[in-house]
A and B are shown apart, each in its own frame.
Chain A
């Protein structure tokens, strides 16, 4: 079974631009979560989607948004980029078997650099 894939792997943008990152979950996984990883703040939860609905959101400004498609693929968008948005963005998928939190399977990440 193919793992979680993320595109692009590397991205360089300038301040004020916007960016869209893509994530394809493992086949059969309907839950997709996004995380931001920086040296200063570590790994922080951005949001989670399940069946095209955002079920949970972390403490990030409205410039960060996402969506999920009917095939469970997900995208996240960051508008009006700031230098502090430079980070590794990780996508993870899981089976979401119900009440218990499940193990998550992570993609390789997209390294975003904002100049």
Chain B
């Protein structure tokens, strides 16, 4: 079963605008990761934020994590047509047998950036 929800399910914006996607999860986590998937292909890792971190940046990406609300957001600034893809958050449970190698994904947000 999915760990949580992502919203919006779909987002359509113009090039140059910012895109914000939100993710909520249900259980305690070790870290939360964001991935991008282009058109039914493999996933590409974007950024990892640990449970003791609140914000992280990577290029045009900014991720926040609020463990008290069990939520995270991904901000893509100055979006480009090439950012068009599905974006997934994925959580990793605290260390232990049930966490090995297991990412628990949200349902994803489909982002469309119009040139």
Task: Pick the contact of A100: B45, B50, B98 (CB < 8 A).
Answer: B50
- Shortest CB–CB separation between residue B24 and chain A, in angstroms? 15
Interface size class of B (residues with CB under 8 A): 20 to 34
Residues of A with C-beta under 8 A to B101? 31-33, 48-50, 55-56, 94, 96, 104
Most buried by B among A35, A105, A106, A109: A106
Task: Kindly count the residue-residue contacts between A and B in the assembled complex, taking CB atoms under 8 Å apart.
Answer: 80
Docked CA distance A50–B100 (Å) = 9
Interface size class of A (residues with CB under 8 A): 20 to 34
Spot the interface stretch: B12-20, B60-68, B74-82, B104-112. Answer: B104-112
- Interface pair A106/B42, CB less than 8 Å apart: yes
- Interface pair B42/A108, CB less than 8 Å apart: yes
Known: A33-B101, A42-B105, A104-B43. 16 other contacts (CB 8 A): A31-B101, A32-B101, A35-B103, A35-B105, A42-B2, A44-B105, A45-B103, A56-B100, A100-B31, A100-B95, A101-B33, A103-B33, A106-B35, A106-B43, A109-B41, A109-B42
